[in-house]
Amino acid sequence: MGKTTKKAVSICITSAKGGVGKTTTTLNLAGIYEVLEKKVLIIDLDVTNGGIALSLNKPYKKDIYSLFDDISLNIHNEFATYTTKYDDYIDILPCFIDPRSASKISNSIIEEIIDRASFLYDVILIDTTHLLNELNLYTLDKVDKILYIIGNDAVNLKNMKSIIKIFNDLKINKYKILLNNSYNPYKEYFSLYDIKNIIKANIDYSISSAFFIPNIDSYVMNGKIITLDKRTPKTYVKDYEVLLNIATDLLVEEEENE
């Protein structure tokens, strides 16, 4: 408090397997932060499928590559010229318009973006892919917090177990684990007890199968965020509270173990 500059908390939303609700959760958390009156930047780092701007129905002309290109050419435009506005609280830095751009950027662009955005936002949410490629590893290293989303099936848990082991070896402890039972409510194969035993880690949060949204595609088609729908807190009381809890928890600064 009392600082003249503000520093955003950067959060990477990732997973050990694809299709477990990363993009949906990123958008839902952005909506919760808006309710909390926090300014949010969503960075779409899903370099091949990037769907944030599409999910929010926002056409765009500039992407991460435009920013990278201008920085390389030493052209200093304001950060806001590269982002696409969703509403008064949420901006998007869209994924590459041309997927081939992914191979042209250098990983350090992530640090540059986080640095620049830090003074403009309260929260930076980075939606990514489950791949442990160089760009994602670099991003995981640079962010303040990591939200790992897991689904309730054997492949998911097997992959997550390996990641926990790597994180333990590297002494990385800035991650939280979210068990997401909502994207496929018929897939609850393991109990919470089994899951903890398999991955050898604690589950920090769970979203229940009750949060399965049958008409989710209509939100996407209309560019709407589920958590900004006035009916959501009343219809999905418990899971909305879990999302609120995750959002506030991730803003709390923790002592990092060097």
Ligand X SMILES: Nc1ncnc2c1ncn2[C@@H]1O[C@H](COP(=O)(O)OP(=O)(O)OP(=O)(O)O)[C@@H](O)[C@H]1O
Q: Which residue matches tokens 């990591």?
A: 146
21 binds ligand X (CB under 6 A): yes
Pairing mode, if any, of strands 40-44 and 123-127? parallel
Residue from 23, 28, 156, 182 binding Mg ion (CB under 5 A): 23
Contact criterion met (CB below 8 Å) for 204 and 210: no
130 binds Mg ion (CB under 5 A): no
Query: Of the listed pieces 6-14, 23-31, 59-67, 96-104, which binds Mg ion according to CB under 5 A?
Result: 23-31
Least Å distance between CB 128 and ligand X? 8
Per-residue three-class SS string for 110-142: HHHHHHHHHCCCCEEEEECCCCCCHHHHHHHHH
42 binds ligand X (CB under 6 A): no
List all residues 6 or more positions away from 63 whose beta carbon is below 8 Å from its beta carbon: 82, 93, 94, 95, 96, 97, 101
Query: Of the listed pieces 21-29, 93-101, 152-160, 190-198, which binds ligand X according to CB under 6 A?
Result: 21-29
Residue from 137, 192, 216, 221 binding ligand X (CB under 6 A): 216
18 binds ligand X (CB under 6 A): yes
Residue whose CB is less far from Mg ion, 23 or 156: 23
Report what 21 binds from Mg ion, ligand X, none; CB cut-off 5-8 Å by kind.
ligand X
22 binds ligand X (CB under 6 A): yes
What are the DSSP E strand ranges found in the chain? Answer: 9-15, 40-44, 84-85, 90-93, 123-127, 145-150, 175-180, 205-207
Contact criterion met (CB below 8 Å) for 45 and 135: yes
Give the residues across from 93 on adjacent strands: 43
Residue from 211, 232, 246, 247 binding ligand X (CB under 6 A): 211
138 binds ligand X (CB under 6 A): no
Binding site for ligand X (CB under 6 A): 15, 18-24, 46, 49, 129-130, 182-183, 211-213, 216
